[in-house]
Every structure is written in structure tokens, then in C-alpha cells.
Amino acid sequence: MAVLKYIKLTLPMMLASLTFYAPASVSADELDGAKIYQQHCASCHGEKLEGGIGSSFLNHIWNYGSHPQLIGMNIKFGIPNLEMPGFKEILNDEQIGTVVAYIVEQDAKSELAAPKVPDHIKTEHYNFKVDILADNIPSPWGIAFIDANKALITEQSGKLYLMLNGVVQKDVIKDTPNDIALGGQGGLLDVALDPDYGDNGWIYLSYSHGLGADGILSKAKVMTRVVRGRIRDGHWVDQQVIFQADEKFYSKSRGHFGSRFTFDEKGRLYFSVGDRRVPKQAQDLSRPNGKIHRINKDGTIPEDNPFVGRPGALPSIFTYGNRNPQGMATHPETGDIWSAEHGPMGGDELNHIRAGKNYGWPEITYGVNYNGTIISEFTAKAGMEQPIIHWTPSIAVADIDFYNNAILPKWQNNLLVSSLKYRDLRRLVIEGDKVTHREMILKGLGRIRSVTVSPSGAIYLLLEDPSLILRLTPES
């Protein structure tokens, strides 16, 4: 009976893949991941896991969820509308568990884990020299330049580093916030300098703030928080909290903190707060999550913020319906704010951020849930903004920065975009609200958390898995 079902289930797939593949000779309770894989998966995913009609399992890319539990669900139930069959009639949970362990292990061992960083790269217009500035900072998150040769770098575990002439200093800045809750996507996140840093010395930090205790917190309720302070003699001093949500908005979730910064031409600070994994709250103006906020440098609210005076709305909100923006940048010419946000499975977005607008999450989205079920049947609705572009499947879009330096005139105002999942750096040519050209600049190294153009026009990349700080210097 089981065999019959199996043949019925796999026959159309065999035809689709045009690969002959013998029905089960593996015994029903077989518990060898490699054997199960060869028997049931190799015809589509490749004998060496290199991919075929199904995806490769050696590229660190999991389009449909990377958590072992999600991988297991994809195997058990299949992926709707794709030719990935469900195996729940054929493999028991334990067998699925061993095959998950096998493919995850093979993926981890694959050569991508130790990529070779090229010395030089060529692009359509320019060539770059590539330097590895550091390979020992575990999860660098944000970078802010004091001048062409001096920058501050945050590291997710809570450290704030100074980089001088491309060398990350061993001694971290002392006395930085000690109420950071680590775990998941939390930690010390972005860093930015005050637009008038030369006069006032203010530095802005965002992090997942834990309530209730000092030190590195593991079980606390958390929420994105923004502080500013100064550095004096290697110490963080003069700290002021400039954005903190009410305690009732703190939660145990360690995901979707958003928190990327940008300033506009009037010196107002924009930062994102992700939906904290409760999608519908992104539509609720009485809550800070799932929003992009705008505040003055001292934390006060700009009088012309779009929801000032609206009963029940938080006045710092600038836009809503934002899932988890981790890229923010100010257009060098128009001064407009742009953001990139993570979609669910599919539906990563690039958005042009305008006061008071609703970006739709989760009422409209191009993505679906990780188990393939529908979040919303709508991709558009009246009163909700469309993304400039969306990436489906998700590239796990992370940071963005506009290129703004006279040394590369052909790249002026182009947008650099980094991807975590696809491990690449892209260049988008943008005219008005249209992307007119795209180029892949670099790929296959690591998850690129952050891309930032330095005052000298070099491009700095912060990567994790493996952890690297790279500098791309234009060659004349």
C-alpha cells in the first residue's frame, strides 16, 4: 500500500525531472540520513546535493526557511505550487529528522564556509581593490565614519570598536550600555554620528534593551532603544536615552528590532523598529513596532511629524506597516528617505519613505508564510504604498547606502544593497521612483549585514558567517 502511494506520488515528479529513480528499497524504519537522501531526494536535489530541479543544499541558501524545524516541515508537507513533494506518507518524523540533520551538516561543511576573498573585483564601470580589514569581529552590525580614516563599528555582542586607518583597535570603548539583551537578532545594533558631530560630539546607538536588570540579559523583555553619548578618553560618557518605548510594548521576542539609522537634511533622526514578530501590530498607530520613527536629535518630537495630535497615535511615528527594515539611507540629492525591509518568505521590499504613509504589512505583501500558507491574498490596496521593487524569493535584504562621492561619477546616487541570504552586494540605478538597471558587485563571501560609503568614496562591508570587514577601494 505504502509503495503504491509512493509510486503514485512520485511518478509525475519522475517525469518532470526526467531522471529514473527506483522506488523504495530503503526499509521503512531506516535511520541513515545519507541513505534516505540518496533514495528519496537525490533525483531532484543532486547525488552530491549540488541541486537539479530542486535547490542545491551546498550554498547556504534556504529560501523556504533555514531553521531545522522549517526544513523538516518543508520535507514533511512539501512546498505548495512547487515541485517539492510532501513526504509525510513516506518518511516518519524521525527519518525526516535524520535527513534534515544530514543536509544541514553537508551545507555547513560546504566550501562556501571558507570563501576566498578576491584581491580585486571588476564591475561595469570601475575596478576595486579588496582589503580584509578584520576577520575576528564576530557579528559586526553598523559603522559610522568620523573622517576618512576613523570609524566606529558596533558588534552585536555589545562591543563598540574604533577603527583607525583600516585597523580595528583591540581596546573597545569602555562603559557602553550594559542593559543590552542578547540572543536572536538582538544586541548592539546601529551607530551614527550627529550631523554636527564636529561641534557637539554626539554619537547615536540603537540596541535591544532589556528591562529589569543590569548586565547582559538573557530572559528579559526587550525592545529597540536609542541612546546618544560621547566618547572621552576611550569611555562612553554623557549618555542620554532619546527613544524608549513604554514598558507595555516590551516583549520576550528576540526578533525584528529594525533599528537602522539615517538623518535628513534638517538633522532629524529616522530609525526603524521591526514588527517584533507580531505582524498585525505594524498597522496599529498606538504601538511603536512595525514603524519608522522620526525624532529630533535630543529625542523631542518634530512638530510636523505626521501623527502629532492624532488621538491614540504615537507622535514619533513617521510611517507604518513596515515589517522589519534594516536598511535606511538618505538620498544625496533629493534628501528623501529610503528603506529596505525583510519580507516573510518572499516580499523583501525597497521603499521610498514618505511622511504618514502605510507600507501595508501585513495587509498587503508579496511574501507568504514559511510553511507556504498565505499571509494576505492582497499585494495591493488603496491607501497602501507599493514597494519600489520587491525581491521574491527573499534575498534577506539588509543594508542600503547611496553612493555619493565625486570619485565615481557614474555611480553617483546609485543605491548599494546588501543581502544576508544570497551573500551579495548589488548596485541599483534609480531614476525617480524606478530602478532602471541592476548590477551584481560581489557575491559568495558571507552574509553582508552592512554597506557604507566612506568619506573617501571607499565601500565598507560588514559580513558575518564568516565574519569579515572588507574595504573596496576604487582603482584609477
Quick check: 330 binds ligand HEC (CB under 6 A)? Answer: no
Note if 256 is an active site residue. Answer: yes
Q: Which stretch binds ligand HEC (CB under 6 A): 72-80, 110-118, 169-177, 402-410?
A: 72-80
Give the pairing type, strands 317-320 and 291-295: antiparallel
Closer to ligand HEC by Cβ: residue 83 or 124: 83
Question: Which residue is it, cell 535547490?
Answer: 55
CB 473 within 8 A of CB 458: yes
Residues β-bridged to residue 391 = 348
Name which position in 75, 193, 222, 328 contacts ligand HEC (CB under 6 A): 75
Chain residues 182-211 in contact with ligand HEC, contact rule CB under 6 A: none
Q: What does DSSP assign to residue 385? A: P
**How many residues contact ligand HEC, by CB under 6 A?**
26
Quick check: 422 binds ligand HEC (CB under 6 A)? Answer: no
Name which position in 33, 58, 87, 290 contacts ligand HEC (CB under 6 A): 87
CA distances to 114, 144, 328, 389, 402 from 452, in Å: 24, 8, 11, 21, 8
Quick check: 395 binds ligand HEC (CB under 6 A)? Answer: no
Name which position in 64, 161, 207, 243 contacts ligand HEC (CB under 6 A): 64
Site string for ligand HEC, 100-119 (x = CB under 6 A): ---x----------------
- Cβ contacts of 142 within 8 Å, gap of 6 or more: 153, 154, 189, 190, 191, 192, 260, 261, 450, 462
Closer to ligand HEC by Cβ: residue 12 or 212: 12
Phi/psi of residue 286, nearest 5 degrees: -90, 0
Name which position in 9, 26, 34, 82 contacts ligand HEC (CB under 6 A): 82
Closer to ligand HEC by Cβ: residue 268 or 421: 421
Would you state the cell numbers that stand for residue 320, as one nine-digit string? 507604518
Q: Closest approach of Cβ 431 to ligand HEC, in Å?
A: 32
Quick check: 85 binds ligand HEC (CB under 6 A)? Answer: yes
381 alpha-carbon distance from chain centroid: 26
Chain residues 21-60 in contact with ligand HEC, contact rule CB under 6 A: 40-41, 43-45, 53-55
CA distances to 166, 331, 370, 399, 417 from 403, in Å: 20, 9, 34, 13, 11
Quick check: 419 binds ligand HEC (CB under 6 A)? Answer: no
Q: 10 Å Cβ neighbour count for 325?
A: 30
Name which position in 49, 58, 74, 463 contacts ligand HEC (CB under 6 A): 74
Give the pairing type, strands 434-443 and 447-453: unpaired
Quick check: 17 binds ligand HEC (CB under 6 A)? Answer: yes
Closest by CA to 226, choosing from 251, 208, 238, is 208
Quick check: 274 binds ligand HEC (CB under 6 A)? Answer: no
Quick check: 79 binds ligand HEC (CB under 6 A)? Answer: yes
> E strands, 307-365, where?
317-320, 325-330, 337-341, 348-353
Q: Closest approach of Cβ 43 to ligand HEC, in Å?
A: 6
Would you state the cell numbers that stand for residue 40, as one nine-digit string? 528519496
Give the pairing type, strands 159-164 and 167-168: antiparallel
Closer to ligand HEC by Cβ: residue 75 or 328: 75
Quick check: 83 binds ligand HEC (CB under 6 A)? Answer: yes
From the list 45, 256, 293, 352, the catalytic residue is 256
Angle, vertex CA 63, rays to CA 462 and CA 414, nearest 5: 45
> E strands, 18-117, where?
none
Q: Closest approach of Cβ 424 to ligand HEC, in Å?
A: 16
Closer to ligand HEC by Cβ: residue 91 or 133: 91
Contacts with ligand HEC by CB under 6 A lie at 13, 17, 40-41, 43-45, 53-55, 61-65, 71, 74-75, 79, 82-85, 87, 99, 103
Supply the residues annotated as catalytic. Answer: 256
